[in-house]
Structure 1
């Protein structure tokens, strides 16, 4: 049975989501730990700023929920009110909706598809992706492609990065007159840099743990790169700060920002924290001269674009419903595989036995035509002995069922 369980921006506030997030560096360890300690056959973990979801093939999701709480050192009762659990077919539908961007904070955003592919890659490398989940995710990617190519779900999308620029322009008359500090060098920061730098800011700085990667991004926008441990020295020089790293703990504390505000002589500072867990301590937002926004705050900005995409959402849901039925049919067909394999094995044993018998007759000098006739009769009788016997020994009710089944299995028609 395929299950999906987790929390997302619909079910839980940021303070809860960040407590059960999985950093990329811990993902493979978590996958190994879950499959080693629990009766879980297949598993993949999708962890982003908006969701932490576990896709698994198991008897029950309860053991996975207990593991999730234990792994993150939280009481199950603390996260239970925010958790959702889906079994088939809802688990399949949920995977298709997530891949297609229908369950995202920004409806139709394409970034989640790449994040889901990263989750699948991590599961493959950890050896926790079996045939069922492999097929589920491949179908998810196929459905996402179909939705994007046949509907307007991604048209005129308002991204989180664009929302950040929109909010910054409420604080500053022109982003082009400001100095911007980007913290991190991942995909989200790259998107934000593209949007903010389109306004041609006065200065661009990239702070990253790996200086080489920071330089590579900075060079695109004629900026400079610094190390994360240099943040304290450079923070006061920047008017706009956009942060999204995979750090498990905040990298910008209240004290650091207080010193920066003092050095800036209380000129306003606009800060966007897109990381989960948060990169910037929540208390920073209480400072008078700091405007701090989280991913949940940006969601309110992009919500206004939702209505224009509702028609596309309806079309996308219809596509997903049809593809869920297809996938359900594939799963159900797998239930017959053992029976089909057993049937073929039995027929093969009969064939080999009769071939051996026929070869012995030929070796004795029996005419080939007579041997072939004998072989065909013996094979026919052996193949039909068990179903014929079942029909003869069945009672009235069972006989009707077997007759119907036999007619369908062997393609029989009235009068045959």
Structure 2
């Protein structure tokens, strides 16, 4: 059984492709159960964000995961195969460490991915698909991420998606303080964006969320108000800036809804940021004259600001990761010897108990303790050495190799002549 990573991300695929293979958070556990049931996969975890969908898994048949991914999303495999990558063991471990450390993110060094990866681990654990190998992999990944962030400048001068959205809005409107802002959703990304925009003291902040209580809680923290998501159609026209990031599998803002809003606004411009994958806003909305629509991919150029100051830290981070990959692979290699070691110890323990029982019987008969102890040590030594000695004397063409192995196992002097 080997470790693999199957994935698709912002480096390999456009948003239009990524959104087709994204997993809703509420469906990840069921998807993991389905993967283990349908394919020869022993362990699995799914990381699905706006920039990537990745399956970390242990199997003897790596092709099974790619086939399952297409089947699960009801897509012809040839449609997504050109965008997929599959990393075998060493590359899979290195990739996991780079992702956790923020080296593979659209925003180099961004910290949100670490929390998303920890959530992926939690869901896999609850689904019963997080075995020993993946558990160890992710624990190592989290430790590497902590080391990278604490010993390098990878997190310095980050321009986040939230900050980038504010910068773009400032290109459209002279002052954010004069604008009314609607945030759709109440998750971590929306809260980050809302805090960045709120720092500019906008005229009004409103949260629209499917769960009203959660929307109200976020609105209270921001000094805003909350509305039900169902009110979106009738209230959209009131807002100059709209930022959306929900887990809806289908767009919640359609072309017709926005056209009606623009008409009511008398063609005053609207700035919209769609951070969701799959997208919350229909693609055609961006073609309207009075709408400035940006997706996560559109923000890429803005977030590159300050990138140069972090590039030097990448070299240091990669060196840390390379060293930690070697350490994890050494642990992984020892996993295959565990059953043999356990059997060897069990056999030795059985021999020890048998000889102890024999010695105790002799002592009970009144035998001389010194003689019994000497006999016990000889018998136990002979039992331990019987198997390797027999293997050496009966060895055929592989005698030299076997002698070297025995010398290594028992730390024998190089000048000794085994078998003579």
- Per the TM superposition, whether the score is higher than 0.5 is yes
Distance 1:343 1:398 in 2: 22
Instruction: Report Cα offsets for 1:68-91 as digits up to 9, x if no partner.
Output: 111111100000000000001000
2:280 is paired with a residue of what secondary structure?
Answer: coil
Q: Which residue of 2 aligns with 1:137?
A: 138
Distance 1:408 1:64 in 2: 41
Q: Which residue of 1 aligns with 2:411?
A: 411
Distance 2:128 2:50 in 1: 25
Cα distance, 1:415 vs structure 2: 6.3
Cα distance, 1:345 vs structure 2: 1.1
Distance 2:263 2:401 in 1: 85
Cα distance, 1:354 vs structure 2: 1.3
Where do residues 8-407 of structure 1 align in structure 2 (5 Å cutoff)?
8-395=9-396, 398-407=398-407
2:19 is paired with a residue of what secondary structure?
Answer: helix
| TM-score scaled by length of structure 2 | 0.97
2:20 is paired with a residue of what secondary structure?
Answer: helix
Distance 1:406 1:71 in 2: 51
Cα distance, 1:399 vs structure 2: 3.1
> Which stretches of structure 1, 4 residues or longer, exceed 6 Å deviation after superposition?
none
2:192 is paired with a residue of what secondary structure?
Answer: helix
Cα distance, 1:220 vs structure 2: 1.8
Check conservation: 2:100, 2:145, Cα contact below 8 A.
Answer: yes
1:105 is paired with a residue of what secondary structure?
Answer: coil
2:277 is paired with a residue of what secondary structure?
Answer: coil
Q: Please tell me the root mean square deviation across aligned C-alpha atoms, in Å.
A: 1.2
1:158 is paired with a residue of what secondary structure?
Answer: coil
Aligned length: 415
Instruction: Report Cα offsets for 1:4-27 as digits up to 9, x if no partner.
Output: 001000000001100010001111
Higher mean Cα deviation, 305-314 or 238-247? Answer: 305-314
Distance 2:216 2:237 in 1: 21
Distance 2:265 2:386 in 1: 93
1:53 is paired with a residue of what secondary structure?
Answer: strand
Check conservation: 2:9, 2:52, Cα contact below 8 A.
Answer: yes
Distance 1:405 1:335 in 2: 18
Question: In the superposition, relative to structure 1, how do residues 385 and 21 fare at CA in structure 2: closer, same or farther (>3 Å)?
Answer: same
Unaligned runs of 5+ in 2: none
| TM-score scaled by length of structure 1 | 0.98
Distance 1:138 1:205 in 2: 39
Distance 2:267 2:296 in 1: 25
